């Protein structure tokens, strides 16, 4: 019966709760004074049950007429009473009066549905209507206020034209088709930083700053992958830098090559991002198939992509291993990495995006790549602090961890001597953050000037070996701020082609030798 009425009134079943309407009517029948506070304006009035709708208006102009404020009665038409209206009122009054209902809760839940209904009927597309229905299925919908439901509706409008996805969904197909351009928190992939920060703690904000083209987005993916697949957390990445396709390829590269994640998908293999992108795989028997000078299988001139992939399956074990890893990745949807690419957006847009994913998926780890001024304040470095403050407020209020990348100036400052003065954005952003890392490369010719150790006391020191691989780099990470305590200087060895980041230990410059 309820379903038929919902369809008749143009609302789907998810937005129709006649029992809630019945209870609300019963409450104000038993306590007409409640209409002095808990009333519906004509432009938000949206009962699904037509009879209950007319009874509400009847109460508004009769039983509760002297209690309802003037604004509550504006723009309503005269109620249409039926022969059994009085008896129906008494029935509702008696039944509802037998229980002790919370008027504020009932009223709030009804207002939320009314707002959703109003927006549903005027939605321009089925996609938007479906998004509106999704709000009722948010994991924390019951905790949302009326304002937060309205914000979720606003966020649908904000993101309607933006690229949104789950990065690890259909990862194998994305690789093969090549289409598209205070308690301890969760562990990082780095033991020292995990220890000094006490993990990535919900309710806190972190930032890591590097110069341009140092791999800020790749560092983000490296940490996000660890959170999602090793720590089993839900993650959201908001990017105004790398596109969805580039982020997904970086994620695939990370998952294939990361030693900890390899233990999960059980494929021990090494493939760099360029090889993955170009589907460059070596055959098990080079004598049975045409290969290039590097030993990779060659796609024939008349061979379609589909035919080439089929041959890769037949001829290359390493290709089979990669596909097994990406198939595993595609299945990890319970602890997924959601992604949204933004371009022109305000701080308010950013807030609504994060809260929408929080309520929808209960996401508790968010990364923003890169922390910049909002669209209304481009070029004003001091405005970065305002954006960071918005993120900090969200993190604290909703117990979400939010990490952001920042831009570091290209300067002559030695890596171990980095300070907030080397930031390209507002230096005052540090005041808002809970943790801040400043990262810079040691050039190969200067590696001999540095040493590292397993301990911060440098009891035993090691020289930094000059890498044979030209893609291998060494970064110094200066912990410039840490509310949890220690602020060490740490050495990383990394290879962006494989998105491998390895924490070697504590680092310092060697003492100058006396002449």
The pLDDT of residue 4 is 37
Contact 194, 227 (CB under 8 A): no
Q: Rounded to whole angstroms, how far apart are CA atoms 138 and 155?
A: 14
Q: How far is CA 492 from the centre of its chain?
A: 26
Contact 247, 474 (CB under 8 A): no
- How buried is 146 (Cβ within 10 angstroms: 0-12 exposed, 13-18 middle, 19+ buried)? middle
The pLDDT of residue 383 is 83
Bridge partners, residue 360, by sequence: none
pTM for this predicted structure: 0.78
Read off the pLDDT of residues 264-322 as tens digits, 9 standing for 90 and up: 999 999 999 999 999 999 999 999 889 999 999 999 999 999 999 999 999 999 999 99
Q: Rounded to whole angstroms, how far apart are CA atoms 380 and 384?
A: 8
The pLDDT of residue 343 is 85
In sequence order, the 6+-apart residues with CB closer than 8 A to the CB of 21 are: 47, 48, 49, 52, 110
- The tokens 């004509």 sit on which residue? 42
Q: Rounded to whole angstroms, how far apart are CA atoms 187 and 358?
A: 21
The pLDDT of residue 381 is 63
List C-alpha distances in Å: 352 to 94, 115, 155, 394, 479. Answer: 43, 17, 5, 10, 31
What is the domain class of 171-263+331-509 according to CATH? alpha beta
For the chain, helix, strand, coil in percent to 5 are 45, 15, 40
- How buried is 479 (Cβ within 10 angstroms: 0-12 exposed, 13-18 middle, 19+ buried)? buried
Q: Rounded to whole angstroms, how far apart are CA atoms 250 and 261?
A: 14
- How buried is 243 (Cβ within 10 angstroms: 0-12 exposed, 13-18 middle, 19+ buried)? middle
> Measured at the alpha carbon of residue 262, what is the angle toward residues 261 and 265, in degrees to the nearest 5?
90
The pLDDT of residue 151 is 93
DSSP-derived letter for residue 422 is G
The pLDDT of residue 78 is 84
* pLDDT averaged over every residue in the chain: 91
CA trace torsion 23, 24, 29, 34 (10° rounding): 140
Bridge partners, residue 341, by sequence: 163, 239
Q: Rounded to whole angstroms, how far apart are CA atoms 57 and 51?
A: 10
The pLDDT of residue 449 is 97
Read off the pLDDT of residues 60-95 as tens digits, 9 standing for 90 and up: 999 999 999 999 999 998 888 888 889 999 999 999
| H or E element at residue 393 | helix 383-398
In sequence order, the 6+-apart residues with CB closer than 8 A to the CB of 99 are: none
**Which parts of the chain have pLDDT scores under 70?**
1-10, 160-163, 178-183, 373-381, 425-426, 512-515
Closest CA to 490 of 508, 477, 501, 480: 477
> Measured at the alpha carbon of residue 201, what is the angle toward residues 370 and 387, in degrees to the nearest 5?
35
| H or E element at residue 193 | helix 191-197
The pLDDT of residue 5 is 42
The pLDDT of residue 155 is 87
CB-CB neighbours of 121 under 10 Å: 14
In sequence order, the 6+-apart residues with CB closer than 8 A to the CB of 441 are: 214, 415, 473, 474, 475, 476
148-151's contacts with Cβ under 8 Å and 24+ in sequence apart are 148/355, 148/359, 149/112, 149/115, 149/116, 150/115, 151/352, 151/355, 151/356
Sheet with strand 500-509: strands edge to edge:
163-166, 337-341, 235-239, 365-369, 401-407, 205-210, 435-441, 472-482, 489-495, 500-509, 450-453, 462-463
The pLDDT of residue 401 is 98
Q: Which two tokens mark 109? A: 């839940």
């Amino acid at each position: 019966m309820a379903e038929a009425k919902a369809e008749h009134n143009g609302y789907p079943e998810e937005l129709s709760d006649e029992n809630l309407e019945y209870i609300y009517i019963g409450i104000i029948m038993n306590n007409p004074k409640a209409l002095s506070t808990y009333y519906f304006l004509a432009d938000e009035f949206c009962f699904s049950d037509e009879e209950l709708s007319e009874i509400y208006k009847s109460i508004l102009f009769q039983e509760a007429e002297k209690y309802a404020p003037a604004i509550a009665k504006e723009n309503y038409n005269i109620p249409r009473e039926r022969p059994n209206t009085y008896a129906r009122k008494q029935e509702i009054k008696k039944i509802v009066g037998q229980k002790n209902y919370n008027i504020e809760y009932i009223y709030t839940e009804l207002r939320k549905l009314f707002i959703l209904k109003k927006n549903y009927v005027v939605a321009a597309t089925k996609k938007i209507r479906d998004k509106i229905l999704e709000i009722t299925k948010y994991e924390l919908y019951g905790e949302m206020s009326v304002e937060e439901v309205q914000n979720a509706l606003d966020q649908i409008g904000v993101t309607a034209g933006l690229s949104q996805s789950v990065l690890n969904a259909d990862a194998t197909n994305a690789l093969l088709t090549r289409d598209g351009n205070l308690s301890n928190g969760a562990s990082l992939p780095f033991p020292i930083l995990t220890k000094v920060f006490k993990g990535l703690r919900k309710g806190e904000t972190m930032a890591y700053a590097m110069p341009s083209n140092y791999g800020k987005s790749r560092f983000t993916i490296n940490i996000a992958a660890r959170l999602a697949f090793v720590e089993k957390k839900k993650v959201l990445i908001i990017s105004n830098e790398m596109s969805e396709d580039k982020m997904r390829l970086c994620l695939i590269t990370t998952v294939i090559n990361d030693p900890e994640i390899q233990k999960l998908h059980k494929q021990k293999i090494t493939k760099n991002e360029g090889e993955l992108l170009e589907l460059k795989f070596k055959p098990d028997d080079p004598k049975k198939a045409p290969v290039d000078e590097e030993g990779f299988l060659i796609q024939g001139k008349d061979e379609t992509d589909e035919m080439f992939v089929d041959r890769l399956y037949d001829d290359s074990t390493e290709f089979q291993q990669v596909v097994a890893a990406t198939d595993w990745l595609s299945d990890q949807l319970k602890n997924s990495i959601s992604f949204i690419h933004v371009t022109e957006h305000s701080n308010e847009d950013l807030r609504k995006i994060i809260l929408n994913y929080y309520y929808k998926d209960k996401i508790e780890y968010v990364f923003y790549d890169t922390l910049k001024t909002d669209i209304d304040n481009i070029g004003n470095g001091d405005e970065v602090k305002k954006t960071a403050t918005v993120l900090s407020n969200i993190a604290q209020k909703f117990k979400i961890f939010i990490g952001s990348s920042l831009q570091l100036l290209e300067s002559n400052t030695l890596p171990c001597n980095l300070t907030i003065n080397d930031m390209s954005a507002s230096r005052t952003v540090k005041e808002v953050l809970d943790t801040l890392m400043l990262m810079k490369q040691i050039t190969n010719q200067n590696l001999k000037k540095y040493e590292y150790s397993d301990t911060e006391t440098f009891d035993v020191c090691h020289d930094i070996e000059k890498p044979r691989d030209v893609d291998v780099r060494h970064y110094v990470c200066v912990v410039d701020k840490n509310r949890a305590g220690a602020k060490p200087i740490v050495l990383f060895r990394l290879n962006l082609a494989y998105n491998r980041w390895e924490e070697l230990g504590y680092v310092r410059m060697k003492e100058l030798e006396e002449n």
